[in-house]
Structure 1
Amino acid sequence: MEDRYSTVRSRQLGVRLRELMAEHHWGVREMARRLDWPPTRISNMFNARRGSKYIDVVKMLTLMGVIGDEAAEIYALCDDLDEPGFLETYPNLPVQVQTLVWHEERATAISTYQGSIVPGLLQTADYARAVMVGNGAVGGDDAIDERVFARMSRQVILTKRSAPTFKVYLHEFVLRLPVGGTDKRVMSGQLHHLLQMSMRPNITIRVVPVAIGAHPATAGQFQLIDSEAFAPVAYIDSEVASLFLEKPEEIRVYRQALHRLGQVALGEAESRELVAMLATDLYSPGARQDVPRLA
């Protein structure tokens, strides 16, 4: 059977099936033996190299005893596997990033614009915790600690030997927003961390100054992921949903936005100077408490 074009939806299906098998401590060969299938039939499904038949997924889930809402969620992924794009919603749960992490781990280049907070891959633990508390994260301290740990664990992709290039455009507002409230150590630590990370050869951090007013990404934050393993994917998230876009015309829009941001943002050196200045002026022990105007 001819391999189908890999989509976010088909890749996510492979990830979920692999996770369920891991819970049973079954490898590809064990699952193949139990279903009397050739091992390549399963490994190809896991790696999204071919379209998965609904009946095949039913057989796998039945064998593993997966029923109810969990099964329904996976069956839903089987619908329109060839259709580019994927909307992942979380009505009653904290935002999950499993699909995003899967793509980030296989990325060769990641580009992002953030207009309100520092991107997760560059956050300090104190900053991440303050953001979660400020957002009204569900659960107690233990739940928040687990989410902070998960976010910090994601950051290893930026320091591994095959690390992707990471190009970040931050609106000046991100640097001025006093995450952590009156505890200036949170923002001081975060801004100094940005300075340190900006010196890494694979990381570029540029600031979009407030003085330019409206800009190419005024519509909101996004992330563009390139990889040799799959076609480019644009990612947009909110409190209740994560949207993955992969149609060529959609990707073209975000590439154009990144190109235009590159024309209006401060250069790397100028951006570092601004970050260092704000760290001193706003978040040093002697800085004033009130939030400065963006003028």
Structure 2
Amino acid sequence: MAEKGWGVREMSRRLEMSAQWVSAVTRGRTRPDPVNLARLLTVLGVKGAEYHELMAMGDEMRTPGLLEKPLQLRTLIWHEKRATAMSQFHGCSVPGLLQTADYARSLIAEIGNATDPDHIDELVFARMARQVVLDKRPTVTFDFYLHEFVLRLPIGRGAPDVMRGQLRQLDRLAERGNISIRIVPARCGGHPAMAGHFKLIESADFSPVIYIDSEVSGLFLEEPAEVVAYRRVLEGLDRVALDRAQSREFIADLAKNLYSSGVRRDDGDLA
């Protein structure tokens, strides 16, 4: 389009389709069906091997379960910015949207995601930048389910101030009416989210998706049956988790008693 000097409106006129559709496709925000993709490529004069390659890429885009390589979080950020509701569970660490900068930096360093200080700073900055959705989207509802272990795992290599600051951050965020932070206590034993952490993202712009990240990839699950399965998990968590008030009290008690003067050693005593 740039080579031909065509803008979105001109392309829309030639295709006899809406400018919104053309804009969404050219920006990678929607998945064109084969017929319309073929029309677009034909109007642009794409032929031969390049045509077949791009049509094949279109087929890949339409395959449910979009994989993202590590650190390529543009798709996740795109979904988060357009969300009307997000629900998630974490069993080992504080979710990125709730982390303090100190917690994020310590966590990244301790799990070995990066060793170069400049790279760590870049990752921390990117994580903090994502948190803007908490401030700029007051109409979005956020439901976070955290296992008790998340709060007790001492991130910070023996620096209790990291965990104190993180727990205070959770308490401050829990004051907001649109943010629910609920603790799944260890005493409940097995729970519906034993399979691991996940995030349900809902929006008026797209169908619900489940996001799961790992060491080597991020996975978006989009099939209706997959979304239904994770909704059942969230319903189960709602039954076993402490309510919002109990969770805030639980967080405050840990901040005061567990990380007041040190972190626990393996023998259970404060260091």
TM over 0.5: yes
Farther-moved stretch of structure 1 (217-226 vs 156-165): 156-165
- Residue 146 of structure 2 corresponds to residue 177 of structure 1: no
Distance 1:157 1:243 in 2: 21
Counterpart check, 1:86 vs 2:86: no
Q: Deviations over 1:216-238 (max 9, x none)?
A: 00010000011000000001110
1:100 is aligned to 76
How far apart are 1:144 and its partner, in Å?
1.2
* SS of aligned partner of 1:79: helix
Aligned residue for 1:53? 37
Task: Note the C-alpha offset of 1:162.
Answer: 4.5
Shift of 1:96: 2.4
Q: 1:113–1:223: 8 Å Cα contact kept in structure 2?
A: yes
Alpha-carbon offset, residue 205 of structure 1: 0.4
Alignment of 1:42 with 2:17, yes or no, is no
Please list the CA deviations of residues 84-109 of structure 1 after superposition, one character each: whole Å capped at 9, or x if unmatched.
22122x3xxx4321111110100000
Q: Which residue of 1 aligns with 2:188?
A: 212
Query: Is 1:290 matched up with 2:268?
Result: no
Aligned in 2, Cα 1:292/1:235: closer, same or farther, shift over 3 Å? farther
1:235 aligned onto 2:215: no
Where does structure 1 lack aligned partners over 5 or more consecutive residues? 1-20
- Among all aligned residue pairs of Structure 1 and Structure 2, give the percentage whose two residues are the same amino acid: 46
Corresponding residue pairs, total: 254
CA distance in 2, matches of 1:146, 1:249: 37
Task: Quickly say closer, same or farther: Cα 1:79–1:210, change in 2 above 3 A.
Answer: same
The answer to whether the Cα contact below 8 Å between 1:127 and 1:190 also exists between their aligned partners in 2 is: yes
Structure 2 contact 159–262 (Cα < 8 Å) conserved: no
Residues 77 and 216 (structure 1), Cα distance of their counterparts in 2 relative to 1, 3 Å cut? farther
Per the alignment, residue 6 of structure 1 pairs with none
Partners of 1:219 and 1:75 lie apart in 2 by 36
Instruction: Report how far residue 32 of structure 1 moved.
Output: 6.8
Q: Which residue of 2 aligns with 1:262?
A: 238
TM, length-normalised to structure 1: 0.76
Structure number with greater Rg is 2
Gaps of 5+ in 2: none
State the alpha-carbon separation in 2 of the partners of residues 253 and 133 from structure 1. 34
Deviation at 1:56, TM superposition (A): 4.8
Q: Which residue of 2 aligns with 1:5?
A: none
Give the Cα separation in 1 of the matches to 2:183 and 2:267.
17
CA distance in 2, matches of 1:127, 1:179: 7
Root-mean-square deviation (CA), in Å? 3.0
